[in-house]
Amino acid sequence: MKRFVVVLLIVALVLTFAGVGGFVAVLLVRKHFFFPISIDEMLRLQEKGEDAAPETPRLLACFDRDNEALRLNAAMTLGTIGPKAVDPVRERLSDPNPRVRFAAVEALGFIGQPAAGAAHDLVARLQDEDPNVRRKTVYVLARLETKSPAVAEGIINALADKNADVAEQALEAVKNMGAPPKEALPALTKLAGHDKQQMRVEAIKLLGKMGEPAMPALRKILVDAPADERGMLFLTIVPLGAKAQPLLPELQAIMSKNKWWDGEDELFMILKSCGADGAATIANVIKTVHDPMSPHFDVGDDRARTLLKVIGEIGPQAKGTTPLLIELLTDRPSLRIATLDALGDIGPSAKNAVPAVEALANDVNVGLQARVALKRMSVVAKQAGD
């Protein structure tokens, strides 16, 4: 074996002086002078931690082998060595072989925080020609949690990667960064229309975290979204609270044109968080579905009852709906109980409805509910014969 090594060294020197290639010579020495370690030996080295550092060259030699399990275990073992392995591994990030570059990135990921100093070297690998290297680089940079504008920019740019796996990994990384910066808006907007549903879902969630800058994108997504994804959209919008107000016209259109939303609790949460504007939106929907001249006319009362309950839950801020509620008391006897409950929930702010409610105080069917509503509106009901 020693004779074989000596021969290789002589060959390397000859090639170097012949001018054919210091590069070839170094490659030969690196691949054959440091003999790879078996997986069993690696498992023993992993128990030694940084004391296994002298074996780093042999572990790195495993990166050159066409054996995925060997490369993976070498990367894991370098991870247990820790800081002492960072610089030697960093040197392999620019290796001509993409498998070697992948293994080097992977090893830095196993090393973890002590490898944070190599973050900027990793950023360069986000432009790697091999998509597997780019994907693993995004993962490792996110794992290192390096607070650097260059790292953040690199991960955000990876959202627009032409390879879907890389973009999906970037979505996962950005998700853990908190509210995405506005620079991520174009890529996230594009991903919100991706063919892969899970990527659409994650992109839309991140747009929701962005808040106001993402409103135009969310507005368009609401209009174009298939029915089976609206629930997820509503869930994304809920955290915006009152800032979701610009989306109310689109929500009103959805509620007017489609029937199957009465079980969407997240939708009602959005409307309630928008206070008076949310109540006005609900009132418009009720008018639409109960207008015989409307293309969205609904002869049933179930949706209206649901919306009246939401108006009541908005409370005093829903006082602007009082004219509609008065109209419903007169024109829709089947909705009187739900309407009276809503007026009671609004309370004294609905005082303009008092005469209409008093007129029902002695009604055989809804008199009890009318008197309760008046009491909640801080009005004492007149009894029959008074």
User: Residues with Cβ < 8 Å from 91, sequence gap 6 or more?
Assistant: none
pLDDT in tens, 57-84: 999 999 999 999 999 999 999 999 999 9
Helix ranges, 19-148 (H): 22-33, 39-45, 56-61, 68-81, 86-90, 98-111, 119-124, 131-144
Contact present, 282 and 307 (Cβ < 8 Å): yes
Could you tell me if residue 187 is inside a domain?
no
pLDDT in tens, 264-297: 899 999 999 999 999 999 999 998 877 777 666 6
Could you tell me if residue 195 is inside a domain?
no
Could you tell me if residue 21 is inside a domain?
no
User: Residues with Cβ < 8 Å from 295, sequence gap 6 or more?
Assistant: none
Tally of domains in the chain: 2
44 and 167: one domain?
Answer: yes
What percent of the chain has pLDDT above 90?
Answer: 65
CATH of the domain at 155: 1.25.10.10
pLDDT, residue 46, reads: 92
Would the pLDDT of 245 be above 90? yes
Q: Between residues 380 and 295, which one has the greater pLDDT?
A: 295
Domain that holds residue 51: 34-173
pLDDT in tens, 81-133: 999 999 999 999 999 999 999 999 999 999 999 999 999 999 999 999 999 99
Could you tell me if residue 223 is inside a domain?
no
Of the pLDDT bands very low, low, confident and very high (cuts 50, 70, 90), residue 385 is very low
Would the pLDDT of 205 be above 60? yes
Give the Cα-Cα-Cα angle 20, 21, 24 (nearest 5 degrees): 125
Per the prediction, the chain carries an average pLDDT of: 87
- Whole-angstrom distance, CA of residue 31 vs CA of residue 66: 12
Total H helices, total E strands in the chain: 23, 0
Of the pLDDT bands very low, low, confident and very high (cuts 50, 70, 90), residue 228 is confident
Helix ranges, 125-257 (H): 131-144, 149-158, 164-175, 185-191, 197-210, 215-224, 230-237, 248-257
Kindly state the helix (H) or strand (E) to which residue 368 belongs, with its residue range.
helix 367-376
Would the pLDDT of 383 be above 90? no
Contact present, 336 and 360 (Cβ < 8 Å): yes
Q: Which of 150, 173, 196 is the last residue of a domain?
A: 173
pLDDT, residue 377, reads: 92
Could you tell me if residue 197 is inside a domain?
no
